[in-house]
Amino acid sequence: MLEEATNSIERDFKLLIAEDGSNSTGIVDELKWKYANIVYIQHNERLGRGKALREAWSVVQGDMYVYVDVDLATDLTKHEAYRNLITLQGQFDLVTGSRYIQGSATNRPRLRRVASVTYNCLVRLLFQSGVHDHQCGFKSFSHRLVNCLAVKGRSDSWFWDTEVIVIATRMGFRVKEIPIDWEEKKGQRTPLKRLFRDMWLHGTGLITLLYRVYFGDLRRNLS
């Protein structure tokens, strides 16, 4: 689906599959017979989203980098979301899907939605990012921003999404949120254990990022 969707917008591209902590080699090998532009990076040991992406992007050089969660929770066709993700890159360094701006539609468990909205309001307040959704796995990056994140990015976990947006906004990169249609793919009930684990992960990530922004390396870049 991504191959056809991208080909309708841009002909010169590579489809990079970065598999983290699992092995779908057989399926990918079949796809390679059909599509010659697939690049596959696979790790049996889980690296985490941030580390896996930094490594993958160091392998493939491009003018822009598009990142989409493999579960395709974002409907690529609604609001021309995927087309905007690519075509707006000429105007912005980071284009990111948002489930919480006007025009977006989001289907997810109520408890998880409340927790997410609260978290995003807190991040926007702490870092003055101006962004409404810091967690969505639907983004495109300029080559210039990817080079910066290769140096400044530290998070290896799901907190990576928040970190890259905060770094981009604090360091003066051009950021654009676009509306999307998004549907939860993990089921309509959220186990409390998973919710508390995510709260701990993002809470500790925020503490580290707060120190970096107001006292550490990111503060020095602003002075």
In a domain, 20, yes or no: no
Query: What residue numbers bound the domain in which 66 lies?
Result: 62-222
The catalytically annotated residue of 20, 133, 161, 198 is: 161
pTM here?
Answer: 0.91
93 catalytic residue (yes or no): no
When pLDDT is averaged across residues 82-108 and rounded to a whole number, the result is: 95
How sure is the predictor about 196, in pLDDT bands with cuts at 50, 70 and 90? confident
β-strand pairing of 105-107 with 181-183: parallel
- Residues 169 and 132: their CA atoms lie apart, in Å, by 13
pLDDT (tens digit per residue) in 132-179? 999 999 999 999 999 999 999 999 988 999 999 999 999 999 999 999
* Overall number of domains in the chain: 1
**Which CATH number does the domain housing residue 77 bear?**
3.90.550.10
In a domain, 27, yes or no: no
pLDDT (tens digit per residue) in 32-68? 999 999 999 988 888 888 999 999 999 888 999 999 9
Distance, CA of 59 to chain centre = 18
Q: What's the confidence (pLDDT) of residue 48?
A: 87
